[in-house]
Amino acid sequence: MAALDDEIWARLSLTRLLTGSARRSPERSAFASLPSAEPVASLLGAEMRLAQADTMSARLATVLGNVRLDPKAAVGILMPSGPEACIAILATMRAGFCPTLLPLGWDAPPLAQACEAAGVQALLTIGRLAGMRPADMARHIAARYFGLRFIAAFGDKVPDGVVALDTVLAETEDPVPAPAAASPGVITFNRPDRPTPLLRSEASLIASALPFVLAAKLGAGQQIISLLAPDDLAGLSCGLAAALISGAPLIMQALFDSRPLADRLVADPQALLVAPAWLEQPLAASGLLRDRRRRVAFVHQVPFRAEPSDAAGEAHIVDVLDIGEFALLCAVRGGNGQPTLMLGPQPGPMMNGQPLLDTRRGIGGHLEVRGGATEIAPVGRFEWPGGAPLADGWRRLPYRVDSLDARILAISEAAEPPAA
């Protein structure tokens, strides 16, 4: 893979990737939802082609541009997995704003706290998901946090005071093609009890996804079936970003339903399934991991321990570790069934002679990182743990790593790292 320089780095953008792909292959599938007994019924439908995705993201960007928001404002995205979330994220970036990913599983108080911490000025959501009413939740957030200027929702059951996006987008004309505005990036949060907003540039997000695309050997001829919500670094990097980088269609499931998932995996055994690590045992018990053509990425969280597993069978497994939203590590699993995540430079293109992600064990066993994939800017009162950078761009994280010959055995939370 070619090396990157400052000019290429500055142009890395998800919206550019979408627009370029739509121009080359307009009828190719972009985003889809697995069949469900409780589908999200919206204007976007259950499947979107690249041309439609590009058009709808441009329309929604126009709508957002007509709202009185500050330049580069934070726009909350409170949605389950599906085409609606993808279009909302891409449109927000396209309009020059900052998508702020709000986990749908959080309650109103931490969501309101997260919105206040990030300075969210608008919120995009859906009207209904089975028995849930996310648009009503958005109104509860507005009652606790007075900085919201605009709330809009896809689908039905949109309550009073919330803009019905299906109607607005149907009435919005396709804008004249124009370069996308520069987005400051995407904001995620590291924990619900103390939601700290972490701003990552689009280039850094793409850099985080590249090692995953390489390890999973993704290409336009494959499909990604993701069970992760697009509300954190792993969900975004292993889903939307990976799909746009590789050209692979992204298939999602808003509510977990094993039957349509199993049907799709049986129909396409070479599709890449992206799943939380706790699903490995149930998937193995189902027999889906016995096929050597099967490819699965299991996403782990800290605390993490690399323990052998005899559950994977013949499947090709990629282990992904989300280190508190600061960085993603990934590696193909070894033949003994044990994750083989490594310290040191991670696979991928070089940036000005440096790897996009480099890791090491520092003072007191603390994990230290550097590279474009770890570029996070402060939001509000947020400061990097450990204070100022170390020499040569290294930063120390509040995690302790145990390793043997550079192989990561375990990573756990630790006290704040010692000052540089």
Q: What is the dihedral of CA 311, 105, 274, 263, to 10 degrees?
A: 80
pLDDT > 70? residue 310: no
- Structure confidence at residue 217 as a pLDDT band (50, 70, 90): very high
Least confident residue range of 123-127, 179-183, 290-294: 179-183
Go through the chain and tell me how many residues it has.
420
Question: Residue 300 corresponds to which tokens in the numbers above?
Answer: 């782990």
Average pLDDT estimate for 147-152: 95
The pLDDT of residue 158 is: 92
Per-position DSSP letters for 301-336, written without gaps between them? ESSEE----S--TT-EEEEEEEETTTEEEEEEPPTT
242-274 pLDDT, tens digit per residue, is: 999 999 999 998 888 888 898 998 889 889 999
Stated pTM of the model: 0.94
Q: Is 212 exposed, middle or buried (0-12, 13-18, 19+ CB in 10 A)?
A: buried
Residue with tokens 């990157």: 4
Alpha-carbon gap, residue 252 to 255, rounded angstroms: 9
- Structure confidence at residue 186 as a pLDDT band (50, 70, 90): very high
Count the helices and strands in the chain (H runs, E runs). 12, 24
Residue with tokens 């969210």: 120
DSSP code for 118: H
DSSP code for 159: P
In one-letter notation, the amino acid at residue 142 is: A
Q: Say which residue, 136 or 419, is predicted with more confidence.
A: 136
Please check whether residue 88 is in contact with residue 230, taking contact to mean a CB–CB distance below 8 angstroms: no
Alpha-carbon gap, residue 381 to 142, rounded angstroms: 21
Indicate the SS3 state at residue 397.
Answer: strand
The pLDDT of residue 291 is: 86
Please check whether residue 392 is in contact with residue 358, taking contact to mean a CB–CB distance below 8 angstroms: no
320-363 pLDDT, tens digit per residue, is: 999 989 999 999 998 778 899 999 999 888 887 889 999 999 98
The pLDDT of residue 290 is: 85
Indicate the SS3 state at residue 223.
Answer: coil
How far CA 360 is from CA of 306, 345, 356, 403, in Å, comes to 17, 9, 14, 10
Q: Are strands 224-226 and 250-252 parallel, antiparallel or unpaired?
A: parallel
